[in-house]
Amino acid sequence: MSTPQHHRALVVSAVWTLFLIFLGSVVHATGSSLACPDWPTCFGTMVPAMVGGIFWEHLHRLVAGGLVLMWLLTGWLVRRESGPARVRRGWVAGLVLLLVQAVFGGVTVLLRLPPAISTAHLTLAFLFLGLAVALAVETSPHRTDATAHPSLRATLRRWGTAASGLVLAQSVIGGLVRHLDAGMACPDLPLCFGQLVPSLEQPLVALNFFHRVTALATGIVVIATALTVLRSPALDQLRRLAWGAISVMFLQIMLGVASVAANLAVAPVSLHTLGAASLFAATVALAAWGRPIAEPAPAAVA
């Protein structure tokens, strides 16, 4: 069974996006978001001295630019290999997301990190990641095997979509917590100021507590989704995805605790963001396995 090149390119794009999201978190955690005060240049040049915070901020921009080039290559491969129409439309949507994402990144710098725009920037990154993952699953040569389990496909569509939607919502709330500097609004875990339900009069405390509550709900749905797959006659690929989702979810909990215990140190906070993106990718992949297989593109008429 041959693997189309555009499938490999989509997988690379998804992994590249995960790295970019992680790098963006490092930029914020190290206080480097405004190390380059202008955009798209950095101190008026595209090749600034890569020192201090400039290293992280400009590296983030370079990796983002590389992702755009990778996506253009992916689109060329999709067309050359006559990918399904649904994949072509998805690629166009991804290109639009990337361009809008770039604009939001520039506006974030020029307006000096407004929380709403910074959170929207993160949200767009997650949406692009989800699209790249869904298209990678769509083009997988192994996915045709899923036709033997129609009931499982329906379950995956229902539960996988619910899980990925909750992970996305939880990640957006986490972005607000980060950009509003609410990460230490509840300085203890698992309680908040020693209470199961703290006073919610302070907006940042309420936001931090809501982030924790939604994390609990998200975890329950992710576990339910994974167990549904593991209890079914699923393919090995799906079982690995399910185990991966459970593993990343528990790792996320530990990283969240470590982030608070370490007073938002760079390593646990950045890995916590990467964990959220990885969990989102896993749940999107599970949902994508439940979608009907796209019809191949019609053969060109000679």
Same domain, 225 and 133: no
Q: How far, in Å, CA of 219 to CA of 253, rounded? A: 9
Same domain, 151 and 289: yes
Instruction: Say whether pLDDT at 296 is over 70.
Output: no
Same domain, 128 and 226: no
Sign of CA dihedral 264, 266, 268, 271: positive
For residue 301, being part of any structural domain is answered with no
Q: How many domains does the chain have?
A: 2
Same domain, 203 and 66: no
Mean pLDDT of 128-155: 82
pTM for the model: 0.93
Mean pLDDT of 107-122: 92
Percentage of the chain beyond pLDDT 90 is: 80
Same domain, 162 and 120: no
pLDDT band at 294 (very low <50, low <70, confident <90, very high): low
Question: Is pLDDT larger for residue 156 or for residue 64?
Answer: 64
Which stretches within 82-187 are classed as H helix?
Answer: 85-110, 115-138, 150-155, 161-179
Same domain, 152 and 290: yes
- Weakest-pLDDT range from 112-116, 152-156, 248-252, 274-278: 152-156
pLDDT band at 144 (very low <50, low <70, confident <90, very high): low
Question: Is pLDDT larger for residue 136 or for residue 149?
Answer: 136
For residue 299, being part of any structural domain is answered with no
User: Is the Cβ–Cβ distance between 206 and 229 less than 8 Å?
Assistant: no
pLDDT band at 1 (very low <50, low <70, confident <90, very high): low
For residue 300, being part of any structural domain is answered with no
Mean pLDDT of 111-134: 95
Same domain, 200 and 120: no
pLDDT band at 293 (very low <50, low <70, confident <90, very high): confident
**How high is the pLDDT of residue 234?**
67
Domain end call among 123, 141, 159: 141
- Weakest-pLDDT range from 129-138, 139-148, 181-190, 243-252: 139-148
Instruction: Say whether pLDDT at 145 is over 60.
Output: no
Which stretches within the chain are classed as H helix?
Answer: 5-29, 52-80, 85-110, 115-138, 150-155, 161-179, 203-230, 236-261, 266-289
What are φ and ψ of residue 175, in 5° steps?
A: -65, -40
How do residues 231-283 score in pLDDT, each as one tens digit? Answer: 887 678 888 999 999 999 999 999 999 999 999 999 999 999 999 999 999 99
**How high is the pLDDT of residue 302?**
39
Same domain, 153 and 284: yes
CB burial string 208-223: b at 16+ within 10 A, e below: bbbbbebbeebbebbb
Crossing angle for the helix pair 115-138 and 5-29, nearest 10 degrees?
160
Q: How far, in Å, CA of 289 to CA of 140, rounded? A: 10
Q: How far, in Å, CA of 94 to CA of 131, rounded? A: 7
User: Is the Cβ–Cβ distance between 124 and 175 less than 8 Å?
Assistant: no
What are φ and ψ of residue 134, in 5° steps?
A: -60, -40
How do residues 70-92 score in pLDDT, each as one tens digit? Answer: 999 999 999 999 888 999 999 99
**How high is the pLDDT of residue 12?**
97
Mean pLDDT of the chain: 91
Q: How far, in Å, CA of 298 to CA of 276, rounded? A: 38
Instruction: Say whether pLDDT at 146 is over 60.
Output: no
Crossing angle for the helix pair 161-179 and 115-138, nearest 10 degrees?
150
Instruction: Estimate to the nearest angstrom the gap between the alpha carbon of 255 and the chain centroid.
Output: 17
Instruction: Say whether pLDDT at 39 is over 80.
Output: yes
How do residues 180-220 score in pLDDT, each as one tens digit? Answer: 999 999 999 888 999 999 999 999 999 999 999 999 999 99
- Length, in residues, of the chain: 302
Q: How far, in Å, CA of 149 to CA of 64, rounded? A: 38
Q: How far, in Å, CA of 190 to CA of 241, rounded? A: 28
DSSP string of 169-184, one letter each residue: HHHHHHHHHHHTT-TT
Domain carrying residue 279 = 146-294
Mean pLDDT of 21-44: 94
Domain end call among 141, 171, 186: 141
For residue 288, being part of any structural domain is answered with yes
Mean pLDDT of 35-53: 93
Domain end call among 92, 107, 141: 141
Instruction: Say whether pLDDT at 45 is over 60.
Output: yes
Same domain, 101 and 167: no
pLDDT band at 300 (very low <50, low <70, confident <90, very high): very low
Same domain, 19 and 132: yes
Q: How far, in Å, CA of 174 to CA of 161, rounded? A: 20
